[in-house]
Amino acid sequence: MPTTRRERMRDATLLEIKEVAREHLRAHGPSGISLRGIARDLGMTAPALYRYYASLDDLLTAMIETYTNEICDAMEAARDAMPADDLGGRLVAVTRAFRRWSLDHRPEFAMVFGAPVPGYTEPEEGGVHQAGGRMGAIFFTLFFELWRRQPFPVPPDEEITPALRRQLRLFAAACCGEDDDAPLGVIRLFAASWVRLYGLVAIEVFGHMHFMLEDMEPLFEAELNDLAKTIGLEKGSV
């Protein structure tokens, strides 16, 4: 059903609010975002702004959802630029796209992946949760398909504690649905790989390796190559 003019105007205003909020984020950090300041910059009254976002938490949630989906869009574009049957190349492309977006959007990365905004509580369900599941699925689907095509060594299920097993299975169900057949060891290795990747990107985004390296890219590529070997990718894939 076509949208009405009123709906289009509301959508345009919602987008404008989020764009001004992004400017405030970049200028002042997450704690510097306020509905009153955004309303002032838009030439609106604070009560008028509340018709679009009922609270600051609602706006912050919309921002986090937007930025997470932007990351996903960048990763999917990089994935789809590679041949469909080149799973290794696709996974490497997605990984590099994640790093590139993060470095190009440091304030947004900090808002999605860094310390929570003081006083803000992320909702357990809704758009943010769905966007996070989308991002996990982009990585995990490729990772699992690689293992299914040519299995690489993974931890035995009996070495995984019951508490960890339950959480890994919940993650896989969120990414692949209840009928996924991913062994727990594959999910466990994926979790370890994500921790390693995220750690590399976060430490670069927040500038915590300057004492050692002025350029993190060679280290990132070396670590990416090591991770590729772990999952049996040929040298040409990286």
* pLDDT tens per residue across span 165-208: 999 988 887 766 654 678 899 999 999 999 999 999 999 999 99
Mean pLDDT of 77-100: 96
CA 177, distance to chain mean position in Å, is 19
Percent of the chain residues topping a pLDDT of 90: 72
pLDDT of 177: 61
The whole-chain average pLDDT of the chain stands at 90
- pLDDT for 210-220, tens place per residue? 999 999 999 99
pLDDT of 181: 76
* pLDDT of 161 strictly over 90: yes
pTM for this entry:
0.91
Q: How far apart are CA 144 and CA 63, in angstroms?
A: 30
* pLDDT of 108 strictly over 90: yes
List Cβ neighbours of 183 (8 Å cut-off, separation of 6 or more).
154, 157
The mean-pLDDT minimum among 70-84, 89-103, 124-138 falls in 124-138
